[in-house]
Structure 1
Amino acid sequence: MITVSLVALSGLSLGACVSSMAYTSKVEAAYPPDGQQVAVNGHSVHVMTRGPEAAPVVLMIHGASANAREFTWTLAPRLEMDLRVLMVDRPGHGYSERFGGADTLAAQAAQMAGALELLAPGRKATVVGHSFGGAVALRLALDRPDLVSSLVLLAPVTHDWGDAEGGTAWYNSFAANPVFGPFFSQLAPIAGPAQMKNGISGVFAPAPTPPDYFENSGIGLFLRPPNFRANAQDMTQLKQELAEQSRRYGELAVPITVFSGSKDTVVSPKLHTARLKKQVPIELVILPDEGHMPHHGEGSAVAGAIRRLAFGRQTR
């Protein structure tokens, strides 16, 4: 009986691996790297660039379950005529290399800093962060204030959520597990695509989901097993990381604009943005009809805020 079970399990594992390899090959052919690979702290970082090289710099950091393509068709087209836009894949996402310790906000911010130093040497940037990317943007401003002139945070996760419900999806704890996580992650390409497409509307609600969002943002890259596992590790570490990082927010000394959808059910404005506002002065833009993706439905307003800060025009 044990032998039969082991054989069955081995067959299931092999089948999942073959399926995930086929999926990875197909999705990477559909969404190949669209930028350049730069070496930062001994690890490869994928950066997409747009706009005049000598223009003011904007660095964009994507959220969880995503990659830098998120910005290529939303914000970059609104900014690239007169701003230098750098869109960076976080470690283990898109086409940036994953490494030991990359699940810490400090390590991810260090990779963003290195990319900025290489591609815009001697210059400060307006740093834009969406969701998880907001936490990385804040850490970058804390650890490397010499590189950051201002922050624009989009539905940011900023604090630990205590005993409140939500925070991370159930599958993250399985995928991040050091023992069976690698196998569990092989299942992502099998069940993941349909589940993700069905769940996207909840991320945008009550705003409508843009047509072809899944395809335009290359979300399929997330379901490659190593990417899926890297995301799970990020998410399971995040609560503790934010508990420590949030104690430092009083150090922030740059202009900060925050866009918050009042109906965001992914990252609670009450648990995050409202608490940040108590610690540091921010320009808060509340969007009554938006959820977790304000840079889509309110892209013009977000781009306007980025441009204003990038060119040094402040409202306070």
Structure 2
Amino acid sequence: MITATALGLCALGTGACVTSAAYKNKIESQHPPIGAAVPVNGETVHVIQEGEAGPPVLMIHGASANAREFTWTLSPRLRDEHRIFMADRPGHGYSDRPDGAHDLGVQAEQMAGVLDTLAPGEKAVLVGHSFGGAVALRVALDRPELVKGLVLLAPVTHDWGGGGQAWYNSLAAPPVIGPMFSQLPPIVGPGQLAGGITSVFDPAPAPDAYSEKSAIGLLFRPRNFRANARDVKALEDQLAEQSKRYGELDLPITVFSGSGDTVISPKLHVGELKKQVPVDLVILPHEGHMPHHGEGGAVADAIRRLASE
């Protein structure tokens, strides 16, 4: 996403900060918040809500994304019969980022707080994509009284033995160099976006105007980029501990996994999850890491089924 040449831009100092500030203003004017700021634990969570009646469904996005990921994929299939809550994870989209938000437990607290506020006393179906799958699992572990079932989409569930980390996350995450380095993505990142989108959808084709519809450009704002990097860098250690608890889960879980997924290894994630807890696994031979796009109808059907049980 970011070339080595771009590191030379650090020398621009103030110039890079001015450019990133201009980018932030521009991208936020193109993609302003379209949901509500829900107070949770002294911070706010930006939640896009659709549907006025029916069982609640909370959708949690993955890394490098935001809640708009679901506004044109899954919500239109479900909003006539469910209340859909699409939440920006801490530090993503337009949600505040509490201290320690790289911890899956903190992320789960914020997502659970959305349900406490918007669907008090009810159980919801949780939908989690990729990193959001890890957060959905943690909500089910820490607040099982809130969760009726899980629908996980190409979920990250276990530590994977190291490696596979993008180098720029190592520079954006640390406390000293990170804030400075994170001024560079607004300059370089957008030009590298098309290739990244192709890779996450492969072998399926990327939908037309995916970046615009999902407001992916919000990622390159410095604070958002840094929050994403800190989440991703901490994830493996977090999952090494969290995965020890999966045997506690006592609820229906459906997983959609693209057999062509090159972002994560289904064998190392859902394959390991299946050893610990019963899973209704749907293998999609022509999909990659974004199964809710090409197979949105099947995913919506699974959500309806768990909501009605």
Task: Normalising by structure 1, report the TM-score.
Answer: 0.94
Number of matched pairs: 302
Distance 2:157 2:11 in 1: 43
Q: Shift in Å at residue 99 of structure 1?
A: 2.1
The equivalent of 2:191 in structure 1 is 194
1:199-218 correspondence runs (5 A) = 199-218=196-215
Larger Rg belongs to: 1
Distance 1:21 1:104 in 2: 28
The equivalent of 1:222 in structure 2 is 219
Q: Structure 2: which amino acid aligns with 1:15?
A: G
Secondary structure of 2:115's counterpart equals: helix
Q: 1:216 to 1:10 in 2, by over 3 A?
A: closer
Q: 1:10 to 1:123 in 2, by over 3 A?
A: closer
Q: Shift in Å at residue 10 of structure 1?
A: 8.2
For structure 2, list consecutive stretches of 5 or more residues without a partner in the other structure. Answer: 1-7
Secondary structure of 1:108's counterpart equals: helix
Percent identical? 68
Distance 2:139 2:10 in 1: 44
Secondary structure of 1:183's counterpart equals: helix
1:231-250 CA distance string (max 9 Å, x none): 00000100000000000000
Distance 2:193 2:175 in 1: 24
1:142-153 correspondence runs (5 A) = 142-153=141-152
The equivalent of 1:4 in structure 2 is none
Secondary structure of 1:270's counterpart equals: helix
The equivalent of 1:243 in structure 2 is 240
The equivalent of 2:24 in structure 1 is 24
The equivalent of 2:5 in structure 1 is none
Distance 2:283 2:167 in 1: 30
Distance 1:311 1:95 in 2: 32
1:290 matches 2:277:
no
Secondary structure of 2:268's counterpart equals: coil
Q: Structure 2: which amino acid aligns with 1:33?
A: P
Q: Shift in Å at residue 162 of structure 1?
A: 1.1
| RMSD of aligned Cα (Å) | 1.2
Are the aligned partners of 2:9 and 2:184 in contact in 1 as well (CA < 8 Å)?
Answer: no
The equivalent of 2:108 in structure 1 is 109
Q: Shift in Å at residue 38 of structure 1?
A: 1.1
Q: Structure 1: which amino acid aligns with 2:204?
A: A
Are the aligned partners of 2:55 and 2:83 in contact in 1 as well (CA < 8 Å)?
Answer: yes
Distance 2:17 2:194 in 1: 22
Q: 1:49 to 1:9 in 2, by over 3 A?
A: closer
Are the aligned partners of 2:253 and 2:280 in contact in 1 as well (CA < 8 Å)?
Answer: yes
The equivalent of 2:271 in structure 1 is 274
